Structure 1
Amino acid sequence: MSVLARPLQEKAGALSGAVVRISDFWSLSNAKLATVLGLSPATVSRLRAGTTALDPASKSFEAGQFLLRLFRSLDALLGSDDNAAKAWLNTVNLDLDGKPIDRIDTMRGLMEVCDYVDFYRARV
């Protein structure tokens, strides 16, 4: 393995692990996580098992980064209360025109939810 490839693989492994932990905290099924990341449920199963990692050059990696951003923003805003974050994600939000958990199924929706939470955090 080249010296340059090692840091990319480490980033992929770290992000993949974080995404799996986030999906556990938020009780996301393999099918839901697959939709959010743009992967197949089988690939998500391998991701959970640790036998595969997100490819740093893929859209799935980018979606994983946004999912991590959303997790961190909600964690900071809600004082590390995972139950509050889960409740927020599953409650209809008039500004977002639906439940945030449903909006993150597309890259655009995921980015909008991230921006919304970041904007709200900036006001606090």
Structure 2
Amino acid sequence: MALQLARTSDQNRVISEAVVRVAACWRLTNDQLGAILGLSPATVSRLRSGGYQLDRSSKAFELAQYLVRLFRGLDALMGSNDEASVSWLKATNLDLAGRPIDLIRTVKGLNEVTDYVDDFRAQV
């Protein structure tokens, strides 16, 4: 039981730290990250400072997994060029009918953008 609790705690810490790194690389505000994860800007502030961790049983944890998956896929496509990734996120995408940075504020949009990047990566 103690091992399982430690493993869950590690998962919480890892995804929390990863999503904070994604937000830093993409220069997401607390409002933007909060909208993506379904958290208040104040909670995102605590997350960034290490005073809060996402819980594995929460919806925010699941959304964070999608965000990290999107980051990894886009990072691979852009050759680890954060500026190119940010430009892609902020540019209107005709296939997605909007700017990815705006679309990922909803669960449906995050899923669609992540799938789009995954599909595009599969072609490369």
SS of residue paired to 1:52: coil
* Amino acid aligned to 1:117: V
How far apart are residue 2 of structure 1 and its match?
2.2
* Amino acid aligned to 2:68: L
How far apart are residue 116 of structure 1 and its match?
0.2
Distance 1:81 1:37 in 2: 24
Aligned length: 124
The answer for the alignment partner of 1:23 in structure 2 is 23
Distance 1:57 1:108 in 2: 20
TM-score by length of 2: 0.98
Structure 2 residue 115 is matched with structure 1 residue 115 = yes
Q: Deviations over 1:85-111 (max 9, x none)?
A: 000000000010000000000111101
Output aligned runs, 1:71-82, within 5 Å: 71-82=71-82
Distance 2:53 2:108 in 1: 23
Structure 2 residue 37 is matched with structure 1 residue 59 = no
* Amino acid aligned to 2:91: T
* Amino acid aligned to 2:23: S
The answer for the alignment partner of 2:36 in structure 1 is 36
Distance 1:28 1:52 in 2: 18
How far apart are residue 4 of structure 1 and its match?
1.1
In structure 1, runs of 5+ residues without a counterpart are none
Q: Which runs of structure 1 show a deviation greater than 3 angstroms over 4 or more consecutive aligned residues?
A: none
The answer for the alignment partner of 2:8 in structure 1 is 8
RMSD: 0.9
Distance 1:55 1:27 in 2: 23
The answer for the alignment partner of 1:85 in structure 2 is 85
The answer for the alignment partner of 1:47 in structure 2 is 47
TM-score by length of 1: 0.98
Q: Deviations over 1:43-77 (max 9, x none)?
A: 10110010110010011000000000000000111
How far apart are residue 3 of structure 1 and its match?
2.0
